Amino acid sequence: MVNVALPKGRLGEKAYRVFEKAGYSCPSILEPSRKLIFENTAAGVRYFWVKPSDVAIYVERGAADVGVAGKDILLEYAPEVYELADLAMGKCRMAVAAKKDFRDDTEKTLRVATKFGNIAREFYAGKGRDIDIIRLNGSIELAPILGLSDVIVDIVETGATLKENDLAVVEEIAAISARLIAGKAAYRFKGMEIENMCRAIAAVVEEQA
C-alpha cells in the first residue's frame, strides 16, 4: 500500500485525476464528504487530504510515503524528501513586486513583506542586498500599499491580485509548479512501488503536455 498525501483543494483534485489515470483510482475520494482518508486496496493506494503547506511535513516524517507539494513550499522549507517529478500543474511564479513607482534606494535596508522568508532571504543574500523581513500570513499585497514594506515576495499566478492593487512585478525569483515527492524512508522500504507509481504518473503528465 502506498500512502499518498494530496493537497486539499482544486490542485489536489487535479492531481488525483493524474493518479487515477496512472492506475491508482479511488472513486470514493470524489464523493462529497468530510472524510480525510480514502483507500483502494486493490490498487494498493491510500489517499489523505492534507493542508497544502503541510504535505511535505507528512512525507518528510513518513506519515505519508509520497505527496504532491508546491515547489514554493519545497524551496521555503527545504524538507528532507526526494523530488521525483514535475506534475506541470499549479504553475505560477515566485516574484518580487512593488508599487508601480517603486525605486530601490540601495542606501537603505529594503523592507520585504512575505510568507516566504527563507526564499526572500536567500534571493537578496545572493545580491548582497540588506533586507528586513516582515513575515505576514496572507494578503501580502497590502503591505506596500500601506507603507508597511517597500516590496513583497509572493506568488503570482494570473497577476490579477497585483493589477487590481496597482502593484507590478519587479523581478522574478523562480518558476513554481506542483511536484511529486517521496519520503526517504518510504523510498528505502517501498522503492519498487514508488518507482512504478512515479513512472506511471510521469507518463500521464507527458501525455497531457
Q: Which residues lie below 8 Å from residue 149, measured CB to CB, with a gap of 6+?
A: 111, 112, 113, 134, 143
How many binding residues for ligand PRP (CB under 6 A)? Answer: 12
- Compute the residue count for the chain: 209
Task: By CB under 6 A, tell whether 138 contacts ligand PRP.
Answer: yes
Segment near ligand PRP (CB under 6 A); pick from 142-150, 156-164, 176-184, 195-203: 156-164
Of 156, 173, 182, 205, the one binding ligand PRP by CB under 6 A? 156
Please report the sign of the dihedral spanned by the C-alpha atoms of residue 139, residue 145, residue 146, residue 148: positive
Tell me which residue of 67, 35, 29, 69 sits closest to 53, measured CA to CA. Answer: 69
Instruction: For residue 105, count CB atoms less than 10 angstroms from its CB and return exposed for 0-12, middle for 13-18, buried for 19 or more.
Output: exposed
DSSP E strand stretches across the chain: 2-7, 37-40, 45-50, 66-70, 81-86, 92-99, 110-114, 131-135, 151-156, 167-176, 178-183
Residue whose CB is less far from ligand PRP, 60 or 72: 72
Residue whose CB is less far from ligand PRP, 20 or 141: 141
Of 23, 44, 117, 159, the one binding ligand PRP by CB under 6 A? 159
Task: By CB under 6 A, tell whether 158 contacts ligand PRP.
Answer: yes
Segment near ligand PRP (CB under 6 A); pick from 55-63, 148-156, 184-192, 196-204: 148-156
Task: By CB under 6 A, tell whether 85 contacts ligand PRP.
Answer: no
Residue whose CB is less far from ligand PRP, 93 or 121: 93
Contact indicator for 162, 156 with CB cutoff of 8 Å: yes
Task: By CB under 6 A, tell whether 33 contacts ligand PRP.
Answer: no
Q: Kindly list the residues in this chain that would bind ligand PRP in the complex (CB under 6 A).
A: 138-141, 154-161
